[in-house]
Structure 1
Amino acid sequence: MRSISEMPVEDAGRISTLFADIDDTLTNDGRLPACAYEALERLQAAGVAVAPITGRPAGWCDMIARMWPVSGVVGENGAFYFSYHQDSRRMRRVFAINDDQRASDRKKLEAVRARILAEVPGTAISADQPYREADLAIDFCEDVPPLSASEVERIKRIFEEEGAVARVSSIHVNGWYGAYDKLTMTRRFAADVLGLDIDGHKDKVVFVGDSPNDAPMFHFFPNACGVANVLRFRGRIDSEPAYVTLHEGGHGFVEVANRILDARKGRVAA
């Protein structure tokens, strides 16, 4: 991982789309700092399409798509994308799995839920679970005392033993049934909403993240950036980002935004 200051100006200047995780990427200590939100606004005003790519639930994503300066949002680790059209006042909702299959999967996740709570003392169901459509989120440090790395790995292993997909974020272990992840739904969102083929134009995209569940995005995008707290996961993440910021969370995100915007304005020395 190289410093974000080492991203070549020609690479930063051609960025037209920015995708970013939310928790501990846009936020610091669970709060969205004003500077990070302002950076989203500045990117949008400069013509850079922005979309959060998050593990957070459908209920949150509906609000984000409506109220944030973004083109849309991919939620629950790729279970869906939401995009709100301001002029027509209509929300576009696209899911990876149909309604009937999601209902069936939720029943299976109830059994996984019971097993995790019984076998991993100290964990809890995420407080945002009632607002989810497709996955089960297990809290290991957001609203509970932090669990050890081995306990987090045990939660992930239980999901997998039950035939589910599991991903570890900075605060939750998310599990679901279905062959999708952040990258597959981002590809669909980009094509449908932005008219962008990310496979053919990945050099025009930056993804910003912070944790192991961002690994598919870090691997795919050559200009992927990690905020500084991604360094906590060294050795526990399948693919690392090309660049890393000096600061953590939302303050690190501002570094990425500034690098892109300054390059587009010709203010960065080569």
Structure 2
Amino acid sequence: MSMQPLSDWPQEERRQIRGILTDIDDTLTKHGSLSASVLDAIQRARQTGLKVIAVTGRPTYWTLPLLRLCSFDAVIAENGASAFWRDSQGRVQSMFYADEIIRQQHRQQLQAFASVMTAHFPHVQLADDAAMRVGDLAFDIGEHIAPLSAAELQQVGDLIRSSGFFATTSSIHAHASLASFSKQSMSQRVLHEVFGIADEAARQTYVFIGDSANDASMFAHYPYSVGVANIRLSLDRFDTHPRYVCQESHGAGFVELVDALIASS
């Protein structure tokens, strides 16, 4: 699918948008940092009536700070393993891919797999947020080490799958899990069960913005999908690409999207 410049997105379609689903790493952030301009864009979007929902591969234990400090309407973590939001009284609510007993069983198996990974790939260590996860196990493939080559990344994914786990990758982490949750499945569930938006309506009124392979399920599901400019660095790692691409990279690309939506409102 050939990506079109974000500026080519028809105004009449932009006016139908009621919310933004957004990845975090390398979409809102740059080199792991969240800029004041991105936080301002989130606030401006919400002030104009747009919901902003983070859909990230980051761990469940990051969700409460993100929810409170960034003022997201909801945060979906671990590529769909969990979700958190505030109810009408401001109390934090949550949902998970499985109950606590199953999650604990999965955690034990995932922790045992960590030594298998390091035995095969000594330079691929656990991500520094691994202890904060409830549904998957993440390995550093580019956050604190030089990014793995496409061939190495394929080998890492093959090892995860051949060991009986599901595998997905982002720009910084390779993820292993024992359940096939995804960003898309949990987004659909949150929009329907929490915000009362059926999937058919959500697909016409929500835009997703991301940058990497673990966003592929979102690019495939939402007709209005956008990549920040740095997505061009990883297009060869997955087949389903966004419909539009920003001129700017990382967080500046997110700001570009918000500005485009506000200008069309």
The TM tier, using the shorter chain, reads: over 0.9
* Structure-1 separation of matches of 2:111 and 2:151: 23
Q: 1:28 aligns with which of 11, 27, 30?
A: 30
Q: Percent identity?
A: 33
Amino acid at match of 2:111: E
How much is the aligned-residue C-alpha RMSD, in angstroms?
1.2
1:42 corresponds to 2:44? yes
1:193 corresponds to 2:194? yes
Segments of structure 2 that go 5 or more residues without pairing to the other structure are: none
Amino acid at match of 2:215: D
* Structure-1 separation of matches of 2:94 and 2:139: 25
Q: Which residue of structure 2 lines up, in the alignment, with residue 132 of structure 1? A: 133
Amino acid at match of 2:249: E
Matches within 5 A, 1:48-59: 48-59=50-61
Q: Which residue of structure 2 lines up, in the alignment, with residue 156 of structure 1? A: 157
Q: Which residue of structure 1 lines up, in the alignment, with residue 86 of structure 2? A: 84
Asked if the contact 1:120–1:154 (Cα under 8 Å) also holds between the matched residues in 2, the reply is no
Amino acid at match of 1:222: P
Asked if the contact 1:56–1:75 (Cα under 8 Å) also holds between the matched residues in 2, the reply is yes
Provide the secondary structure at the position in 2 that maps to 1:215.
helix
Q: Which residue of structure 2 lines up, in the alignment, with residue 268 of structure 1? A: none
Amino acid at match of 1:83: W
Q: Deviations over 1:93-126 (max 9, x none)?
A: 1001111111111111123211111101211100
- TM-score under structure 2 length normalisation: 0.96
- TM-score under structure 1 length normalisation: 0.94
Q: Which residue of structure 1 lines up, in the alignment, with residue 257 of structure 2? A: 256
Aligned length: 263
1:116 corresponds to 2:117? yes
Q: Which residue of structure 1 lines up, in the alignment, with residue 239 of structure 2? A: 238
Matches within 5 A, 1:166-245: 166-245=167-246
Segments of structure 1 that go 5 or more residues without pairing to the other structure are: 265-270
Q: Which residue of structure 2 lines up, in the alignment, with residue 267 of structure 1? A: none
* Structure-2 separation of matches of 1:150 and 1:112: 21
Asked if the contact 1:66–1:84 (Cα under 8 Å) also holds between the matched residues in 2, the reply is no
Q: Deviations over 1:59-93 (max 9, x none)?
A: 111211222221111100000110024x6342101
